[in-house]
Amino acid sequence: MSDAPTAGRTRDADRSRDAILDAAEGLFAEGGYDATSLQAIGERAGVSRGTPGYFFGSKEALYAAVLERIFAAERAFVAEAEARSLEGSTDAEPERVLAAIVGSFLDFLAARPSYVRLLEREALAGGAALRATAAHAATIREGLGLASELLRSGTGDAPGRAGASAPAALMLALLSLCWFPFAHADTYGRDLGLDIREPAARARYRDYVVGLVLRGIAAS
């Protein structure tokens, strides 16, 4: 007996779920959590008004799924880009590693503008939903691990003047340097004539950030 009907229903369910997540991500980013209804999400996804609730149970659960998915996508994007850029390398010199991480994160922010908007809204709301997101916690752990490795490679085993807080300070500095140009692409970025969404400008900015951070590590 063929299992094609079951496989077909599974594919249809997966497509519907993905369409709902895509629609929800866009609407939550554009209008925020409170202004977004399950009905509006269903309409944008092209499904019946009850389908988002059927798959996710509630708007709160759907929002949590959106956050989990976008952080998982960010981690996968950066990890893949880093591996690709370091492929065939026999060393792991700080400049090469940092350029791969910064470049891939900037590229992700450019490719997924809803990521910046969602997190800006989370910041204004206090960040409770964000702190409950497992993929976000994993991102923090991995980022701190990378920062620790960069500090060790740049300054030996000594943590520098920042002491035990050095990895957190470095990670926050990197996030800030990458994040701000996208969050303010249409304010400061436009007024300064730097469009981070343009690939050539983004590559130049990546090199600037890498040089700035490496000099900071050396100085510590």
**What is the separation of C-alpha 191 from the centre of its chain, rounded to a whole number of angstroms?**
25
Task: Give the C-alpha separation, 84 to 44, whole Å.
Answer: 35
- One-letter amino acid at 47 equals V
Which tens digits make up the pLDDT trace of 4-29?
556 665 678 889 999 999 999 999 99
CATH of domain 65-219: 1.10.357
- CA 125 to CA 104: how far, in whole Å? 28
The pTM for the full model equals: 0.86
- Tens digits of per-residue pLDDT, 174-219? 999 999 999 999 999 999 999 999 999 999 999 999 999 999 888 8
Domain residue ranges of the chain, discontinuous segments joined by + = 1-57, 65-219
Asked: is 1-57 a CATH 1.10.10.60 domain? The reply is: yes
